[in-house]
Amino acid sequence: MATGKRYYWLKLKESFMNSDTVDYFMSQKDGANYVVLYQMLCLKTINTGGRLQRQIGEVIIPYDIEKIQRDCKYFSADTIRIALKLYQAFGLIYEDAGGVLVLSDHKNLVGSETDYAEKNRRLRAQQRVPFLPDGGHNVSDNVSENVSTDIRDRDKRLDTRDKSTEDRDTTAVSGETTRRTSDVQRVIDAWNALGLQNIRRIAPGTDRDQWLRKRIRDYGIDAVLEAVEKVRGSRFLMGENKRGWQITFDWFIRPNNFPKVLDGNYDDREEPVGAESGGSPLDDLRALHAMYEGKGE
């Protein structure tokens, strides 16, 4: 009997466990703890959309080290403190305006399903594959008949399509292609105005072209232009860090880097009193991570 209870699971890809970020974590003394703690935080924040917070009445209370240690009982306060700094440095979490730590891209890290949905999914799967009395699967009965019927029906629909409809479809596709090409040029112009590497042309069909068009399609042209402006307002991305690393266009449009820029992970932070010029240790870690992410461009 379905109760409506919801089940959750982690959706970490193999590429995450094989990434340079995890490799760097594992090279540290407590690296395995950093990786496991991150996965536990993904699950602990399921009901808050990746936000490390709890709400009592109308009051939102950000998690602190002690709260995380109570919930994740296997880690010392020092381990948690260092792990959180590393997560921020590598863009796995960021701090919002209210001081709450938020796991980046949390919605793509956790999956969920109600028991009712699971039951229906299993029923649909059983209906698609009927069973024979001897326990075998009936996969051949009426196959030829069904296929030929489907083809005839499809051909009939194609033959009766109105010519004007085809003309409208062609015009719509042409208009969409023109609009996307115009959006690409807008991004190129905005990027070149930063005074960094100059983009003369993006050849159609290249990785650069596909990555940029996908960012525009997934986020919208306004969000992409907003992210370009965030680059302008980030001293770190513009090269003011200890390692002298500077953002490139290909790094910017990569699928694992773009959302971090848009979410403000690299926005300027207020320097602690007495901090040395040239970037903080956290900026040094950011630059190291950014160079790792840029490999293979």
Burial classification of residue 65, based on how many CB atoms lie within 10 Å of its CB (0-12 exposed, 13-18 middle, 19 or more buried): middle
Predicted confidence at residue 268, as pLDDT, reads: 82
Closest residue by Cα to residue 284 from 22, 15, 24, 18: 24
Report the distance separating Cα 41 and Cα 36, nearest Å.
9
Over residues 52-70, the pLDDT tens digits come to: 988 888 888 899 999 999 9
Report the distance separating Cα 93 and Cα 87, nearest Å.
6
Closest residue by Cα to residue 239 from 297, 192, 287: 287
Report the distance separating Cα 128 and Cα 218, nearest Å.
33
- Confirm whether pTM is higher than 0.85: no
Backbone angles phi, psi at 53, to 5 degrees: -155, 165
Neighbouring residues of 70: CB distance < 8 A, sequence distance ≥ 6 = none
In the chain, what are the domains? 6-111 (1.10.10), 181-293 (no CATH)
Report the distance separating Cα 250 and Cα 188, nearest Å.
12
Over residues 133-190, the pLDDT tens digits come to: 555 555 444 444 444 444 445 555 555 555 555 555 444 444 555 556 788 999 999 9
Average pLDDT, the chain: 75
Cα angle, residue 37 at apex, residues 32 and 42 outer, rounded to 5°: 135
Over residues 188-206, the pLDDT tens digits come to: 999 999 998 888 888 888 8
Residue type for position 193: A
Backbone angles phi, psi at 55, to 5 degrees: -120, 125
Highest-scoring range by mean pLDDT, 83-97, 200-214, 216-230: 216-230
